[in-house]
Structure 1
Amino acid sequence: MELETVSKNRCFGGTQGVYRHDSKACNGPMKLAVYLPPQAEQAERDGRRLPVLTWLSGLTCTEENFTVKAGAQRVAAELGLIVVAPDTSPRGQNIPGEDESYDFGSGAGFYLDATREPWSKAYNMYSYVTRELQALVAERFPVDTARQGIMGHSMGGHGALTIHLKNPGTYRSCSAFSPIVAPSQVPWGHKAFGGYLGEDRAAWRQYDATELVRERPSKATILIDQGEADNFLSEQLRPELFAEAARRAGQPFELRLQPGYDHSYFFIASFIEDHLRHHAAALKG
């Protein structure tokens, strides 16, 4: 699979790269950011592979937001973690309505595979992340596919939770910032799921973390950080719904409510080190 280098920058002894490739799942070019820690150069020479984390960003974001704002590289360099951050949706599909709102279409792929036309021809972020991106990263970078974790923010937190719960053998560790934990019960989810999947709510369950954890809890301890000053907390995020379902299902989790923190990358940057160490501990050996 061809991979075009957009940029490379030295960062904490490693390399922060941005790349572009043609995607079948998303019907066009997609960009992704990959941080290779300093250990990657020696690992490649020795034929060794390093643990890898996939970060999924939220509404309106691209691969750039996390890469530039989260401050993850310093700790990833210390821990020897490769960090992959893809874009959040296909781009430039010329679908009517694709660019009319921030919470549907461009920048709002919701990490699902659309079943409604015309969205189904390109809006297949679940397949993109779990299959196409998997294959691309494994082919091009020294990643240990047996030691993978997934994390994300808001819409991306929703993606991280659902992808982990559906694929616990692939993504062994999971964490989220301010995740949309029950999209079937909140306005963001109603709009996205109705548009991409149709009105059959039974079809929505496969992309709803609160529904999934009831049916298939994992053995991993899921770490969730949520700012108590988040203006989306009560209407769109509702972490208490996931917490109750997880408790009933026996899913190990830690929900940390952080006083004074909002929905921004200032919040993410404040606790990203905890999340990286959470994953590193889970992916040892």
Structure 2
Amino acid sequence: MERIEHRACFEGWQDVYRHQSATLGCSMNFAIYLPPQAAHGPVPVLYWLSGLTCTEQNFISKAGAQRYAAEHGIAIVAPDTSPRGDDVADDAAYDLGKGAGFYLNATQAPWAAHYRMHDYVAEELPALIEAHFPVTSARAISGHSMGGHGALTLALRNPGRYRSVSAFSPIVAPSQVPWGEKAFTAYLGPDQAAWQAWDAVALMANVAERLPLRVEQGVGDEFLEKQLRPELLQAACDAVGYPLQLNLQPGYDHSYYFIASFIGEHVAWHAQYLHA
């Protein structure tokens, strides 16, 4: 593991590391913010999953989350969004291939060889973080858009692994919207029954635990009606009595201006569970 960035930030450190991932079969970058409290003892971790076209850089440079992580004594880990490298399959489109891993385990060629982002985020990355950094095993997870989909499905598929889950503008029902239909067909094949294991709305029907769940959605989001459809998640939660905090924010779009406006509230919200 090699540290490739090291920057002082709100009395803590914003670092980026590169390591060889056995799960993905390629070299991967991840960002980690260690708050000042980490100098005195282990701190809990909030995992952040970014959206389409992003790398580990977007969140750490645009969201302004470090200020709040320092205030609440929380580390933030932000992995890349997909496997990378010359040997990794790709597509010319922005919504498939590199930068569009969808946080699942692909089963179809040529994607299956490397696209196993679910196992990387759920297992390999936290094992690496907890072995090498001053953190506890208390974890929360959040994300944006495709990463919001990832946060929801990782939390729902892995009971006991996280203490809370939140999302900004998530793709809540990828089986029912164009972004998800395209990615799932490529990564998982045409059998839509296989898609349900990676769809938060479908997973909600058999949910094993009731984590604190918060979703922030801009009403001015250009993708709201066609790609995001938070009303489907609300209906799925209502059907099983799952407590969902869905905040519809007038005027806000899909950008990092939206994330930066509410990330402080989300970090504080996760902190109450991470420090419990």
Q: d(CA) in 1 for partners of 2:69 and 2:126?
A: 19
Q: Distance in 1 between matches of 2:205 and 2:190?
A: 22
Task: Name which of 73, 93, 109 aligns with 1:117.
Answer: 109
User: How far does residue 33 in structure 1 lie from its aligned partner after superposition?
Assistant: 0.3
Scaled by the length of structure 1, the TM-score of the pair is 0.95
Which of 122, 141, 145 aligns to 1:150? It is 141
Residue of structure 2 equivalent to 1:11: 9
Give the TM-score of the pair, scaled to structure 2. Answer: 0.98
Residue aligned with 1:29, SS = strand
Contact 1:221 1:251 in 2 (8 A): no
Please give the root-mean-square deviation of Cα atoms over the aligned residues, in Å. Answer: 1.0
Partner deviation per Cα, 1:42-89 (whole Å, 9 max, x = no partner)? 11xxxxx21101000000000000000000000100100000000000
- Map residues 127-206 of structure 1 onto 2, 5 A cutoff: 127-145=119-137, 147-206=138-197
Gaps of 5+ in 2: none
Which residue, out of 61, 65, 71, partners 1:68?
61
Give the total of aligned pairs: 276
Give me the identity figure in percent.
57
| Distance of 1:135 and 1:279 partners within structure 2 | 21
Question: Is 2:51 the counterpart of 1:86?
Answer: no
1:37 counterpart = 2:35: yes
Whole-Å separation in 2 of the counterparts to 1:94 and 1:40: 37
Query: Match of 2:20?
Result: 22
C-alpha spacing 1:22/1:95, structure 2 compared with 1 (3 Å): closer
Cα distance in 1, alignment partners of residues 49 and 14 from structure 2: 17
Structure 2 counterpart of 1:22, which letter? Q
| Unaligned 5+ runs, structure 1 | 44-48
Query: 1:253 deviation in Å?
Result: 1.1
The structure-2 alpha-carbon separation of the partners of 1:30 and 1:190, relative to structure 1 and needing over 3 Å to count, comes to: same
Q: Deviations over 1:84-122 (max 9, x none)?
A: 0000001124456x1401000010000000000111110
Instruction: After superposition, give the CA deviation of every residue in 1:137-156 in whole Å (9 maximum; x if it has no partner).
Output: 011111111x1100000000
Asked if the contact 2:88–2:114 (Cα under 8 Å) also holds between the matched residues in 1, the reply is no
Query: Aligned in 2, Cα 1:95/1:9: closer, same or farther, shift over 3 Å?
Result: closer
Which of these residues, 99, 112, 134, is aligned with residue 107 of structure 1? 99
Distance 1:249 1:144 in 2: 32
Q: Which runs of 4+ in 1 moved over 2 A?
A: 92-96
